[in-house]
């Protein structure tokens, strides 16, 4: 049972009079629970507790953090159907997706548990002293990663589990040694509260300091603004719109002590479809992309929103095939009436632009809040001249640009805003022939895909989920995979520090048996 209250550390609180409810987009009705927005005093208390908790949590062993993270995973699983039903009620997404996303969330938590239990992630580096070096002795210097401090995480609307309360940002920050305060997403506050209850239970069970986690309700921007401006907050994670992410970035940059904001924002994920691929596999790609564009009602940051090809009969045929395939697919429910309305109006705006032609539009009647897919097409010159066409239409929509020639394709690639992904569909010598356009594309993205679709973000060490602005505010970090822990840490050096006072990661004996770089050599041996 959920209460609508905030978690200020381990304590539930609801002093605020401002309230709101979540919405069931499938039933097109409000859900029952009344959520209490966190008050300024509650926010300050959560931050004070996080700051205090950091003193202890900051140096807790990897093994203990692993127990905490695994217990969170266990407690989320223990919520069982209650969580799955709440998720479906608040997102309109089907049961399969709810369970799949829960699996991903659990998987991420256990992945970070393994990472910190192993311990080598701290990048321990040791350069031992050379006392007789001339002209001056060389000191003993040892370095490792340490956590930044309390982190604020803003949950994503489109991933109520995997990128929200106990999602990738939270799991990575807790693994790093940073207490986390979640600004709960108002569209799925109930799902958030259930997951928060699991985290709090796990924190208590595994003996973590009170304040290592808080969950604050909020339907507006005030709670988030107060959190980001708070001097004790040291970093921010965000998944959402460019407008929202940029606003937080600006606030953080204007602080007396600026702090990093890792905002994973919009992307239209360009897909270049090259001539030989169209010659041999046009129908296959039309089917594949009809599915990718409409997957999850297009509500993915990696949704392919921009297709590009060189004008030809084959491209015209591909447009026809894609149009034919995409209208066969049944529309599905979007996350919220506001998201549905924004999709409808953004799509209409895009379609109404000069020289934009509709290739496909699902026009049959659907349930309320169901996103009806469209594909439009436009020539390269018009696309280059009209920035409106470069904007993300969040939902099942894609625009196909018919470039005059390779030159125009390359110009478009060069002038595109930063993107999470780019995709190349090629056969034979396509990729060699269009190497310059592909190089230009590489320079604008964080991940490039060959003969595939951008949707589906594999959680692994090699994954980069991020890209040049505005795909993310800091292209130097990924939001997915074990390396996402690097967002929440900084390197720290000890010079001539006594062995007994060093953290275990840096002691001569290597008591944690971790992999370190000792005088330039990668090793898990002791230091002699």
Catalytic residue numbers read: 264, 301
One of 113, 148, 181, 334 touching a second copy (CB under 8 A): 148
* Binding map of a second copy across residues 400-439, x = CB under 8 A, - = no contact: -----------------xx------------xx------x
353 versus 475: smaller Cβ distance to a second copy:
475
- Note whether 220 and 244 are within 8 A (CB): no
The answer to whether 244 contacts a second copy (rule: CB under 8 A) is: no
DSSP for 138-190 reads: BPPEEEEEEE-S-EEEEPPSS-TTTTSTTSHHHHHHHHHT--EEEE--GGGHH
One of 27, 61, 127, 381 touching a second copy (CB under 8 A): 127
One of 80, 250, 368, 385 touching a second copy (CB under 8 A): 250
The answer to whether 522 contacts a second copy (rule: CB under 8 A) is: yes
One of 352, 354, 501, 528 touching a second copy (CB under 8 A): 501
One of 149, 155, 186, 192 touching a second copy (CB under 8 A): 149
Q: Name the residue among 80, 99, 93 with its Cα closest to residue 24.
A: 93
CB of 24 to a second copy, least distance (A): 27
Name residues whose C-beta falls within 8 Å of residue 319's C-beta, 6 or more positions apart in sequence.
359, 375, 377, 400
186 versus 304: smaller Cβ distance to a second copy:
304
* Binding map of a second copy across residues 201-240, x = CB under 8 A, - = no contact: ----------------------------------------
The answer to whether 462 contacts a second copy (rule: CB under 8 A) is: yes
CB of 452 to a second copy, least distance (A): 5
The answer to whether 513 contacts a second copy (rule: CB under 8 A) is: no
The answer to whether 141 contacts a second copy (rule: CB under 8 A) is: yes
Name residues whose C-beta falls within 8 Å of residue 348's C-beta, 6 or more positions apart in sequence.
none
CB of 265 to a second copy, least distance (A): 12
Site for a second copy in 256-285 (CB under 8 A): 257-258, 260
The answer to whether 139 contacts a second copy (rule: CB under 8 A) is: yes
Block residue for tokens 């005093």: 41
Side-chain half-sphere CA neighbours of 453 within 13 A: 21
Size of the site for a second copy (CB under 8 A): 70
CB of 353 to a second copy, least distance (A): 22
The answer to whether 477 contacts a second copy (rule: CB under 8 A) is: yes
The answer to whether 55 contacts a second copy (rule: CB under 8 A) is: yes
- Note whether 265 and 247 are within 8 A (CB): no
One of 70, 374, 478, 510 touching a second copy (CB under 8 A): 478
CB of 450 to a second copy, least distance (A): 5
The answer to whether 491 contacts a second copy (rule: CB under 8 A) is: yes
- Note whether 496 and 139 are within 8 A (CB): yes
Residues in the chain: 528
- For 426, list phi and psi in degrees, rounded to 5: -145, 150
The answer to whether 496 contacts a second copy (rule: CB under 8 A) is: yes
232 versus 324: smaller Cβ distance to a second copy:
232
- Note whether 211 and 217 are within 8 A (CB): no
* Binding map of a second copy across residues 170-199, x = CB under 8 A, - = no contact: ------------------------------
The number of helices, as runs of H, and strands, as runs of E, in the chain is 14, 23
CA distances for 79 relative to 70, 75, 86, 87, angstroms: 15, 7, 10, 12
Site for a second copy in 323-382 (CB under 8 A): none
Name residues whose C-beta falls within 8 Å of residue 222's C-beta, 6 or more positions apart in sequence.
37
In the DSSP assignment, the letter for residue 505 is G
82 versus 496: smaller Cβ distance to a second copy:
496
The answer to whether 493 contacts a second copy (rule: CB under 8 A) is: yes
CB of 431 to a second copy, least distance (A): 6
CB of 136 to a second copy, least distance (A): 7
What is the number of other CB atoms lying within 10 angstroms of the CB of residue 266? 23
As given in the structure block, the two tokens for residue 181 are 């305060």
The strand pairing partners of 377, in sequence order, are 357, 400
In the DSSP assignment, the letter for residue 472 is B
30 versus 284: smaller Cβ distance to a second copy:
284
- For 399, list phi and psi in degrees, rounded to 5: -115, 135
CB of 399 to a second copy, least distance (A): 22
The dihedral sign for the CA sequence 436, 442, 448, 452: negative
Q: Can you tell me the distance from the alpha carbon of 197 to that of 192, in angstroms, rounded to the nearest whole number? A: 9
Name residues whose C-beta falls within 8 Å of residue 346's C-beta, 6 or more positions apart in sequence.
391, 393, 394, 395, 397
CB of 327 to a second copy, least distance (A): 25
Stretch that binds a second copy, among 160-168, 305-313, 320-328, 482-490 (CB under 8 A): 482-490
Q: Which residues of 135-164 are buried (b: 16+ CB within 10 A; e: fewer)?
A: eeeeebebbbbbbbbbbbbbbbbbbbbbbb
Q: Which helix (H) or strand (E) holds 357?
A: strand 357-361
Q: Where along the sequence are the contacts to a second copy (CB under 8 A)?
A: 55, 58-59, 125-127, 136, 138-139, 141-143, 146, 148-149, 249-250, 253-254, 257-258, 260, 417-418, 431-432, 439, 442-443, 446-452, 456, 458, 460-464, 466, 468-470, 473-478, 483, 486, 489-498, 501, 515, 517, 520, 522
């Amino acid at each position: 049972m959920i209460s609508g209250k905030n978690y200020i550390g381990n304590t539930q609180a609801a002093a605020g009079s401002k309230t709101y409810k979540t919405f069931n987009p499938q039933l097109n009705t409000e859900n029952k629970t009344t959520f209490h927005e966190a008050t300024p005093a509650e926010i300050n208390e959560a931050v004070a507790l996080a700051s205090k908790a950091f003193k202890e949590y900051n140096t807790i062993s990897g093994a203990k953090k692993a127990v905490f993270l695994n217990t969170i995973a266990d407690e989320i699983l223990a919520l069982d159907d209650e969580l799955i039903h709440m998720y479906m009620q608040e997102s309109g997404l089907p049961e399969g997706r709810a369970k799949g996303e829960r699996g991903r969330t659990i998987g991420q938590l256990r992945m970070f548990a393994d990472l910190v239990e192993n311990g080598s992630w701290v990048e321990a580096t040791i350069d031992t002293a050379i006392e007789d070096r001339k002209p001056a002795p060389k000191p003993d210097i040892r370095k490792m990663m340490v956590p930044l401090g309390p982190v604020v995480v803003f949950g994503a609307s489109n991933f109520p589990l995997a990128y929200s309360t106990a999602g990738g940002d939270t799991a990575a920050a807790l693994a790093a040694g940073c207490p986390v305060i979640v600004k709960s997403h108002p569209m799925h506050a109930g799902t958030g509260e259930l997951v928060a209850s699991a985290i709090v239970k796990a924190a208590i069970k595994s003996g973590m300091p009170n304040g290592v986690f808080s969950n604050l309700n909020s339907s507006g921007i005030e709670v988030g603004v107060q959190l980001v401006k708070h001097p004790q907050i040291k970093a921010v994670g965000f998944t959402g719109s460019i407008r929202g992410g940029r606003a937080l970035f600006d606030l953080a940059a204007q602080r007396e002590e600026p702090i990093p904001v890792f905002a994973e924002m919009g992307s239209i994920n360009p897909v270049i479809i090259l001539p030989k691929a169209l010659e041999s596999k046009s129908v296959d790609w039309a089917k594949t992309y009809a599915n990718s564009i409409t997957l999850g009602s297009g509500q993915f940051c990696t949704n392919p929103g921009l297709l590009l090809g060189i004008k030809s009969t084959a491209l015209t045929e591909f447009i026809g095939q894609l149009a034919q395939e995409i209208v066969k697919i049944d529309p599905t429910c979007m996350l919220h009436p506001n998201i549905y309305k924004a999709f409808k109006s953004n799509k209409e705006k895009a379609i109404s632009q000069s020289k934009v032609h509709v290739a496909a539009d699902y026009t049959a009647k659907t349930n309320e809040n169901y996103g009806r897919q469209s594909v439009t097409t436009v020539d390269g010159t018009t696309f280059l001249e009209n920035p409106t066409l470069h904007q993300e239409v969040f939902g099942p929509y894609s625009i196909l640009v018919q470039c005059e020639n390779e030159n125009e394709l390359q110009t478009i690639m060069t002038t595109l805003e930063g993107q999470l992904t780019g995709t190349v569909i090629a056969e034979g010598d396509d990729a060699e022939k269009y190497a310059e356009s592909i190089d230009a594309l590489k320079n604008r993205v964080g991940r490039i895909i060959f003969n595939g679709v951008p949707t589906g973000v594999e959680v692994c060490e090699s994954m980069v989920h991020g890209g040049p602005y505005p795909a993310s505010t800091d292209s130097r970090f990924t939001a997915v995979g074990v390396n996402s822990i690097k967002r929440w840490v900084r390197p720290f050096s000890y010079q001539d520090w006594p062995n007994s006072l060093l953290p275990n990661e840096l002691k001569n004996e290597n008591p944690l048996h971790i992999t370190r770089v000792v005088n330039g050599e990668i090793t898990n041996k002791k230091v002699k």
